[in-house]
Amino acid sequence: MNSSNRFLVAVVGAGPAGLFGARELANLGARVVVFNRDIKPGGLAEYGVYPSKHTMKEGFRKQFRQTLALPGVDYYGNVVIGSHGDLTLDDLRKLGFDAVLVSAGAQGTKWLGLPGEELEGVYHAKDVVYFYNQLPPFTQKHFRFGRRCVIVGAGNVMVDVAHFLVRERKVEEVIAVVRRGPLEVNFTVKEMEAVIANLDLEQLDAEIARVAPSMRDVGQDPQAGKARILAALPKAVPATSNTRLRFEFLTSPVQMHGSGGMLTQLEVEDNVLALKDGDTKARGTGNRRRLDVETVIFAIGDKVDEAFGLPVEASEFVKNPQPRFPIEGLSYEAFDPKVGKPIQGVFVGGWSRKASEGLVGYARKDGINAAKAVWEYLQTLHPRNAHPEAVFARLKDLGKPVVTKTDIQKLEAVEAAEAMKRGLEEFRFGTNEEMLQAMKLLQAV
Ligand SMILES: Cc1cc2nc3c(=O)[nH]c(=O)nc-3n(C[C@H](O)[C@H](O)[C@H](O)COP(=O)(O)OP(=O)(O)OC[C@H]3O[C@@H](n4cnc5c(N)ncnc54)[C@H](O)[C@@H]3O)c2cc1C
Ligand SMILES: NC(=O)c1ccc[n+]([C@@H]2O[C@H](COP(=O)([O-])OP(=O)(O)OC[C@H]3O[C@@H](n4cnc5c(N)ncnc54)[C@H](OP(=O)(O)O)[C@@H]3O)[C@@H](O)[C@H]2O)c1
Of the pLDDT bands very low, low, confident and very high (cuts 50, 70, 90), residue 443 is low
Mean pLDDT confidence for 378-396: 88
Burial of 380 (0-12, 13-18, 19+ CB in 10 A): exposed
Percent of the chain with pLDDT over 70: 98
**What pLDDT sits at residue 397?**
92
Residue 425 is classified by DSSP as: S
pLDDT in tens, 370-381: 999 999 999 999
**What pLDDT sits at residue 444?**
45
Q: What is the rounded CA–CA span in Å between residue 69 and residue 27?
A: 12
Across the beta sheet with 251-259, the strand order is 251-259, 262-276, 279-292
Residue 190 neighbours by CB distance under 10 Å: 12
Of the pLDDT bands very low, low, confident and very high (cuts 50, 70, 90), residue 445 is very low
In short, whether 49's Cβ falls inside 6 Å of ligand 1 is yes
Of 154, 273, 264, nearest to 221 by C-alpha is 273
**What pLDDT sits at residue 46?**
98
Residue 162 neighbours by CB distance under 10 Å: 28
Sign of the CA dihedral with 2 first, then 5, 11, and 14 last: positive
Average pLDDT, the chain: 96
Is pLDDT above 80 for 35? yes
Q: What is the rounded CA–CA span in Å between residue 98 and residue 108?
A: 27
Q: What is the rounded CA–CA span in Å between residue 442 and residue 445?
A: 8
Is pLDDT above 50 for 3? no
Residue 359 is classified by DSSP as: -
- Asked if residues 120 and 263 have their Cβ atoms less than 8 Å apart, the reply is yes
**What pLDDT sits at residue 154?**
98
Of the pLDDT bands very low, low, confident and very high (cuts 50, 70, 90), residue 383 is confident
**Pocket lined around ligand 2, Cβ cut-off 6 Å:** 112, 152-158, 160, 179-180, 184, 186, 191, 252, 299-301, 356, 358-359
The helix/strand/coil state of 181 is coil
Q: What pTM, to 2 d.p., does this model score? A: 0.97
Mean pLDDT confidence for 135-160: 98
The helix/strand/coil state of 92 is helix
**Axis crossing angle, helix 156-163 with helix 125-132, rounded to the nearest 10:** 50
Mean pLDDT confidence for 260-286: 97
**What pLDDT sits at residue 430?**
94
**What pLDDT sits at residue 5?**
56
**What pLDDT sits at residue 384?**
80
Of the pLDDT bands very low, low, confident and very high (cuts 50, 70, 90), residue 387 is confident
pLDDT in tens, 239-272: 999 999 999 999 999 999 999 999 999 999 999 9
In short, whether 188's Cβ falls inside 6 Å of ligand 1 is no
pLDDT in tens, 66-111: 999 999 999 999 999 999 999 999 999 999 999 999 999 999 999 9
Q: Counting ligands in written order, which one lies closest to the CA of residue 273?
A: 2
Atom of ligand 1 nearest to the CA of 53: 8
Atom of ligand 2 nearest to the CA of 362: 45
Half-sphere exposure of 153 (CA within 13 A, CB side): 23
User: Which residue has the least CA distance to atom 5 on ligand 2?
Assistant: 156
Of the pLDDT bands very low, low, confident and very high (cuts 50, 70, 90), residue 4 is very low
Mean pLDDT confidence for 56-64: 97
In short, whether 364's Cβ falls inside 6 Å of ligand 1 is no
Percent of the chain with pLDDT over 90: 95
Report the separation in Å between the CA atom of 43 and the middle of ligand 1, taken as the mean of its atom positions: 4
Q: What are residue 27's phi and psi, to 5 degrees?
A: -65, -30
Q: What is the rounded CA–CA span in Å between residue 157 and residue 160?
A: 5
